[in-house]
Amino acid sequence: MKIVHDIQTLPYFSSRLTDRYLGNMRMGIFDIETLGLNPASCPVVLAGLAVPEPDGTYHVYQYFAEDPCEESYVLECIRNDFSRLDFVLTYNGRHFDLPFIQKRSSILGVRCPECNLYNLDLYLVLNGYSQIKYMLRNLKQKTVEEYMGLSDSRDDMISGADSVKMYKDFLRCSDPLLKSSLEEKILLHNHDDLVQLYRLMPVLKQVDIHRAFSGLGFPVSAISGWPSLTVSAVKVSPQGITVSGFYPGDTFSYISYGLPADSFFCEFSEDGRFVFKLHTDRHKGNIFVNLQSYFDSWDEFKVYPNYINGFLLVSDGRSVNNLELNMFTKCFLQKFMEDALCPLAVL
């Protein structure tokens, strides 16, 4: 297996909107190349992970299987990298890249990379929470790059299908110069996908970001011995707020029946899932959170449009105030982790 590490400089992406959810978290941009679309029979032959730094340094790591039998080493490198991240950015990674490496790990009998890590799938964000899809002929990554004026930033000129063909040619090739050229083109395709995907992050300013994070979830940083949490969905109903998600790392079973009494119920399962059910108040069809039931101080909530005298209006019964709902959820989970001893800490 060959490991390639490239360092370049890219403007660091930051915005007030996304920093509410992702600020001060370590992100990795992730993409794989395979020999087909069926994980039951097609190996992962290349994995790329890019890590941007606040100073503008952009590290690109690529793990290239010079023979398909080296796939297990590629998966091991992914696992090691994922353990140092808070979340990953992908393009259709929830439906392809991460399920693919899970299946391949199972088939090969190797320890799977941590796929409960939060995955900000830019394709799903654009497809479900923006008007951009109605303006473009399709939502392929290169099409969105054209829309964002980034086409000239890409040196790679091949498609994913071309990459598969080139890898098969690479395996058969006996000419060292031609073999090196094929490898270079395959690596460049993966490399540019990683770089361009990061350059696409400003498109998040054009989506309904708060509704997207309610529907697709968001990460919550590890605190007080707890593992980081991946919120997968936040839903509000007349019965209360339901927060569901996953936690990475070692699994455990944990149930809490109210801290403080009657304000919430939670359960952590041995399959890596968690669910919280939180109490709300209702008045004339409106659904409120009584902040005093959950926090000693709630000054930070006073800046939100739907804060009212110690209460947070999360729904008027017809629509959801996603900003308030998400920020309450994030603050609640952080407070929970600070107050409740992690079961893993006493094992």
- 39 and 162 share one domain: yes
Cα separation, 143 vs 160, whole angstroms: 14
pLDDT band at residue 259 using 50, 70 and 90 as cut-offs: low
Give the pair of three-digit tokens for residue 79.
């696992």
CATH number for the domain including 143? 3.30.420.10
Calculate mean pLDDT across residues 240-267: 79
- Choice among 201-210, 269-278, 297-306, 321-330 with the minimum mean pLDDT: 269-278
Identify which has the larger pLDDT, 187 or 343.
187
Choosing from 192, 207, 222, the residue where a domain stops is: 207
What is the pLDDT at residue 263?
A: 79
Q: Which of 125-139, 188-202, 249-263, 316-330 comes out lowest in average pLDDT?
A: 249-263
Taking the CA of residue 222 as centre, how many other CA atoms within 13 Å lie in the half-sphere pointing to its CB? 17
End residue of a domain, out of 207, 240, 272: 207
Instruction: Using the predicted structure, report yes or no on whether residue 254 has a pLDDT greater than 60.
Output: yes
Same domain, yes or no, for 24 and 161? yes
Average pLDDT over residues 178-200: 97
* Phi, psi values for residue 50, rounded to 5°: -115, 140
Q: Rounded distance, CA 81 to CA 65, Å?
A: 17
Are 45 and 148 part of one and the same domain?
yes
Average pLDDT over residues 173-179: 96
**What pLDDT is recorded for position 20?**
92
Q: Whole-number mean pLDDT of the chain?
A: 93
Same domain, 29 and 95: yes
Tell whether 117 and 160 lie within a shared domain.
yes
Mean pLDDT of 7-13: 94
Query: What range defines the domain where residue 102 resides?
Result: 2-207
Are 216 and 203 found together in one domain? no
| DSSP-derived secondary structure letter, 140 | -
Report the pLDDT averaged over residues 147-172.
93
Q: Answer with the one of 174, 207, 240 that is the final residue of a domain.
A: 207
The verdict on 272 and 336 lying in the same domain is yes
Q: What is the pLDDT of residue 61?
A: 98
Q: What is the pLDDT of residues 92-133, one digit of tens each?
A: 999 999 999 999 999 999 998 888 899 999 999 999 999 999
- pLDDT at residue 347 in the model: 46
DSSP state of 145: H
Give the model's pLDDT for residue 258.
55
C-alpha to C-alpha distance for 151 and 149, rounded to whole angstroms: 6
Q: Which residue type sits at 64?
A: F
Beta pairing, strands 27-34 & 2-9? unpaired
CB environment 38-56: b (16+ within 10 A), e (fewer): ebeebbbbbbbbbbbeeee
- Name residue 117's amino acid: L
Residues 178 and 96 in one domain: yes
Same domain, 225 and 201: no
Q: What mean pLDDT comes out for the span 33-40?
A: 96
Q: How many domains does the chain have?
A: 2
Question: For residue 113, what pLDDT is reported?
Answer: 87
Are residues 197 and 141 in contact, defined by beta-carbon separation less than 8 angstroms? yes
Say whether both 7 and 53 belong to one domain.
Answer: yes
Q: Is the pLDDT of residue 262 over 60?
A: no
261 and 320 belong to one structural domain: yes
Give CA–CA dist 239/327, Å, rounded: 20
Same domain, 237 and 315: yes
